[in-house]
Structure 1
Amino acid sequence: MSYYYASSSDSSSDSSYGDDSSSDDDFYSDTVSSDESSIEEMSFGEGIQVALENISCPPNELIVMTRDAQIIENTIMKTVCDYNPDFKKEYGGFGSADSFLDGIRIWLPDEHDLNIELRLPLYLQPVCANGYPGFVFLHVIGGDYKHRCVEKYLGNYYFNRSKLRNWLTDCLFRAMHHLASVRVSQRRSYSLQYMHRGDAHNFKAIETSGKRRVISFNFVPSIKFAANQWPRGLDKVPNKNRDWCAVPRNYNKAHCQNDSRSFIISAPDWEYLALQNKVNLKNSLRLMKAFCQANEMDGLGSYMLKSIYLDKINEKPQSNWTLSPGNLLIQMMFKLKHCLLNNKIRFYLDPLHNCLDQLEESDRRQYLRNTNRCLSKLLRRRKADYLTDDDLDEFFGV
């Protein structure tokens, strides 16, 4: 992967994101001592480049782990099909739904989110779940009404998320009797562990010798729809007529009642299109992910951070995404600060859905303090045009 940087560009001032550093959040601001006397080790742009190189997986390890992961994924699905005829009949393949698809992965490729596509003998109509933005019910309007995952509710038939989870769990448990390990080469193999968490099905693969690599897989069932089947009442983002899907998930509002009909809308291909050909944007997002990991902001998952960028694209699709990664990072940290202040990250596919609904208030306040502290220091470093090794450790954990 190639990286763009130029120290003259990274150290330049930009009024579009440089005037917001002292305003509405003094309550959360930490007092930061002047540290401009630190030893200068590299220019600001050079430091950003070093950070990008350090959060990237070594090319040889990337090749090995990606190949191993593909073999394990295919072996798991083949085994489930071999020992479950009903699953084989409805299995439509799987696809990446994570940072690998978008090219924004950091560190090792040791976690994979995958959508299992189901092809059902049903005609399904997605309808918005009133009061729960981003969620839909799958109304059964034809086909096999006696299907194992169909349930009648107030006179209408719906696809049932809980029944789907129970069926898939049973299929995968049965397959595990024949899938204690997976051989990826003549000399190397991985042992497998399986568990389900809610509507997701997790496998952990542990290399039995050598480097003892660990790769985890998060399989989630998905039901695919054409672009013209988008739920009525929701605006579409640009999609080039690519498919979208419904993924089983309970409402993410705290203390809300469980509804076994609830699915969330998902469109990895639409998000891919929005991020396509924006290399510097992706590199700044990778830096943002490293920043959150280094500063113990684990409640801001990868998809939340990606959503902040997608929302910015929605606001200003023609923004200057060719700015250097360091300058884009500062710009987007102001956006992150705004989201934390307002306790809202808008969902790309439905802006009324808040991705921050379940973040604890104490975490939100701490994350805001961390963001303010590091943003203030990054602004000073850019102005002085230098970064130190200690800065890279503090900002990005490298």
Structure 2
Amino acid sequence: MSLSSHLPDILNHISIKENERATYLNHAQLLVNELMEDLQKKDELFRQAFNGMSLTGSYLDRVKLISPDEFDMHIKLKFPFQVTPERDYQRSGFVFLKVNGYSSHPAVVNGYVNRKALQQWLRQAFQAVFSWYTQLRIAGEIYKLKYELQGYGCAHTIVATSERRTISFDFVPAFEYTYNDWPLSAPPVSGQVRGSWPWFAVPQGKAPNDERTFMVCAPQWEREMMKDNYNLKNVLRLMKALRDNYKDEMQHLSSYMLKTVLLLELDKRTTQFWQQDMATILICMWSKLLAYLDGRNLPFFLAPGCNHFDRLKADEMAKIRSAVKHVDTQLKQCQNNCPRNRAIDLFLH
């Protein structure tokens, strides 16, 4: 049998079951609501700035695998003074957030929102909440809470554990803008999409030394571009499963890097290409990933001058490239003749 004939069963195995998704989503929403309410109680400046939450990452794209236990969320901030994005001409994909007028806000240094000062301010707000309590009762279950990472990268991570489940949240502060405020070159996104959905300026974990820098992102733009593209989302799920199956070798190959490969190919491929069987598309996209690794350059979708691989060390790149090459060979060998156990071993060790 062909590889393509086994992929529906593999997708069914790695996909989240809807009843499980509903429970996790309900509990996650209740936990987030409680945490955000308490942050506002403990920090008046946070109460003034809090402008809601925005889901991002694999959950937003509905490509999360196996268990719905990790949530990536933007904490949208709107300060009571104007914050204007300015292009950073030295670093592709980054902006400065200029404060118009004087402000004594703890996140502002010398007229700009300062990435480290912002994270320090939010860290103190979270710590104030966690000095108040370390557990919450949600939907009849007691969740013990732990504050991890604490914004020393880009995210403030909260892990909530009950007797039945563990749910983790990566909260990233974000400044929301419309396309009218877009300071970079025109993105490869339709006018309708970029006019209908916002973009964000967010801190980046491995950011430039300049503490004024924030990276642009637009998860809703990407979601809309991927919508109704036939097998595209299933191919991304399968690529993530391949990566997870070789997690020791590919631990530094992020889900967003895999997604970027597909986004970069959208305009280059016809509708007929995405209507082919999943195995054909998967093998093509995996080979494209290998080509980007060989070239040591994976352009950022919204800013081609920014290279995702710049954040990887040489040994990490070599390890990933070797594993991706191995999987590429395996996929091509079993495309037309693939026993079920060999297909399962590829995706589910």
Q: Is the structural similarity TM-score above 0.5?
A: yes
2:160: which partner in 1? 205
- Residue 318 of structure 1 deviates from its aligned partner by 4.7
What is the letter of the counterpart of residue 263 of structure 1? F
Q: Which residue of 2 aligns with 1:146?
A: 104
1:235: Cα distance to partner?
4.1
Structure possessing the higher radius of gyration over alpha carbons = 1
Matched AA of 1:292: R
Tell me which of the two structures has the higher relative contact order, counting C-alpha pairs closer than 8 angstroms and 6 or more residues apart. 1
Q: 331, 336, 340: which one pairs with 1:378?
A: 331
Q: Which amino acid aligns with 1:379?
A: K
Q: Does 1:184 align with 2:138?
A: yes
Rounded to whole Å, the distance in 2 between the matches of 1:198 and 1:232 is 24
Displacement after TM superposition at 1:130 (Å): 2.5
Match of 1:299 among 245, 252, 256: 252
Task: Map 1:1-398; keep pairs closer than 5 Å.
Answer: 43-142=2-101, 144-152=102-110, 157-186=111-140, 188-195=141-148, 196=150, 197-207=152-162, 209=163, 211=164, 213-233=165-185, 235=187, 237-238=189-190, 239-241=193-195, 242-249=197-204, 252=207, 258-296=209-247, 297-316=250-269, 318=271, 320-384=273-337, 386-393=338-345, 395-397=346-348
Cα distance change of structure 1 residues 183 and 60 upon mapping to structure 2, 3 Å threshold: same
Kept in 2: contact 1:250–1:259 (CA 8 A): no
Alignment size in residue pairs: 342
Superposed CA offset, 1:247-270 (max 9, x none):
012654xxx6x2110100011111
Check the 8 A contact 1:76/1:179 in 2, yes or no: no
Distance of 2:154 and 2:334 partners within structure 1: 44
Assess if the C-alpha contact under 8 Å between 1:138 and 1:159 holds in 2: yes
Contact 1:246 1:263 (8 Å CA) reproduced: yes
Matched letter for residue 147 of structure 2: Y
* 1: CA distance, partners of 2:40 / 2:295: 47
CA 318–122 in structure 1, closer or farther in 2 if over 3 Å, else same: farther
Unaligned 5+ segments in structure 1 are: 1-41
Q: Distance in 1 between matches of 2:321 and 2:124?
A: 43
| Counterpart-to-counterpart distance in 2, 1:240 and 1:131 | 25
Cα distance in 2, alignment partners of residues 168 and 317 from structure 1: 45
One-letter identity of the residue aligned with 2:103:
Y
2:343 is paired with a residue whose SS is helix
| TM-score of the superposed pair, with normalisation by structure 2 | 0.92
Q: CA deviation at 1:364?
A: 2.0
Secondary structure of the corresponding residue to residue 216 of structure 1 = strand
Q: Deviations for 1:126-164, whole angstroms, at most 9, x for unmatched residues?
A: 12222211111112234x533332222xxxx21111111
- Match of 1:116, SS state, is strand
What is the letter of the counterpart of residue 228 of structure 1?
N
Counterpart AA for 1:56: S
Q: 2:63 aligns to what SS in structure 1?
A: coil
8 Å CA contact retained: 2:153, 2:206: no
Cα shift at 1:43: 4.2
Separation (CA, whole Å) in 2 of partners of 1:250 and 1:374 = 29
Q: Conserved in 2, the CA contact under 8 Å of 1:79 and 1:178?
A: no
How far is the alpha carbon of 1:390 from its aligned partner?
3.6
SS at match of 2:234: helix
Report the alpha carbon displacement of residue 232 of structure 1 after superposing the two structures with TM: 4.5
Unaligned runs of 5+ in 2: none
Decide which structure has greater helix share.
2
Question: 3-state SS of the aligned residue for 1:130?
Answer: coil
SS across alignment from 1:221: strand
SS at match of 2:233: helix
1:24 match: none
